[in-house]
Amino acid sequence: MKWAMVATWRMAFEGVEKASEILSVGGNSKDAIEESIKMVEDYPFYKSVGYGGLPNEHCEVELDGAFMDGDTLSFGAIGGIKDFKNPISIARKLSMERFNCFLVGKGAEEYAKQNGFEQRPMLTKRAETHYKIRKRDIEEKGLSPYDGHDTVGIIALDSLKSMTVGTSTSGLFMKKRGRVGDSPVSGSGFYVDSEVGGATATGLGEDIMKGCLSYEIVRLMAEGLSPQKAADKALNEFIRRIKAKGSKIGEISIVALNNQGEFGVATNIKNFSFVYSSEKHKTTVYVCENHEGETTYEEASEEWLEAYSKRIKEELFFD
Ligand code: SD4
> Residue 303 above 90 pLDDT?
yes
Q: Answer positive or negative: Cα dihedral of 287, 309, 253, 84.
A: positive
Domain regions of the chain by residue span: 4-312
pTM above 0.85, yes or no: yes
pLDDT confidence of residue 85: 97
Average pLDDT, the chain: 95
> Residue 223 above 80 pLDDT?
yes
pLDDT, tens digit (0-9, with 9 covering 90-100), for 70-115? 999 999 999 999 999 999 999 999 999 999 999 999 999 999 999 9
Confidence of residue 141 (pLDDT cuts 50, 70, 90): confident
Confidence of residue 1 (pLDDT cuts 50, 70, 90): low
Tell me the C-alpha distance between 245 and 99, whole Å: 37
Tell me the C-alpha distance between 276 and 4, whole Å: 8
Q: Residue 280 C-alpha to ligand 1 middle, in angstroms?
A: 31
Q: Residue 39 C-alpha to ligand 1 middle, in angstroms?
A: 18
Which range, of 71-80, 142-151, 256-265, averages the lowest pLDDT? 142-151
Tell me the C-alpha distance between 233 and 225, whole Å: 9
> Residue 161 above 90 pLDDT?
yes
> Residue 149 above 80 pLDDT?
no
> Residue 145 above 90 pLDDT?
no
The verdict on the CB of residue 202 being under 6 Å from ligand 1 is: yes
The verdict on the CB of residue 149 being under 6 Å from ligand 1 is: yes
Share of the chain above pLDDT 70, in %: 98
Tell me the C-alpha distance between 92 and 125, whole Å: 29
Which of the listed residues 169, 206, 267 should we mutate to test ligand 1's pocket, taking the one with most ligand atoms within 8 A of CB?
169
* Residue with CA closest to ligand 1 atom 7: 150
Q: Residue 189 C-alpha to ligand 1 middle, in angstroms?
A: 8
Q: Please, what's the b/e burial string for 232-263 (b: 16 or more CB within 10 A of its CB; e: otherwise)?
A: bbbbbebbeebeeeeeebbbbbbbbbbbebbb
Higher pLDDT among residues 316 and 221, named by residue: 221
Tell me the C-alpha distance between 114 and 191, whole Å: 28
The verdict on the CB of residue 79 being under 6 Å from ligand 1 is: no
pLDDT confidence of residue 238: 97
Residue 263's H or E segment, with its range, is: strand 263-267
pLDDT confidence of residue 50: 95
Higher pLDDT among residues 317 and 219, named by residue: 219
> Residue 308 above 90 pLDDT?
yes
pLDDT confidence of residue 318: 83
CATH number for the domain formed by residue range(s) 4-312: 3.60.20.30
170 φ, ψ to 5°?
-95, 5
Which of the listed residues 48, 146, 204, 249 should we mutate to test ligand 1's pocket, taking the one with most ligand atoms within 8 A of CB?
204
Tell me the C-alpha distance between 108 and 160, whole Å: 32
Tell me the C-alpha distance between 139 and 279, whole Å: 51
pLDDT, tens digit (0-9, with 9 covering 90-100), for 5-56? 999 999 999 999 999 999 999 999 999 999 999 999 999 988 899 999 999 9
Q: Residue 7 C-alpha to ligand 1 middle, in angstroms?
A: 14
Ligand 1 atom, smallest distance to 202 CA:
8
Ligand 1 atom, smallest distance to 64 CA:
3
Q: Answer positive or negative: Cα dihedral of 185, 37, 314, 202.
A: negative
Confidence of residue 148 (pLDDT cuts 50, 70, 90): low
> Residue 143 above 80 pLDDT?
no
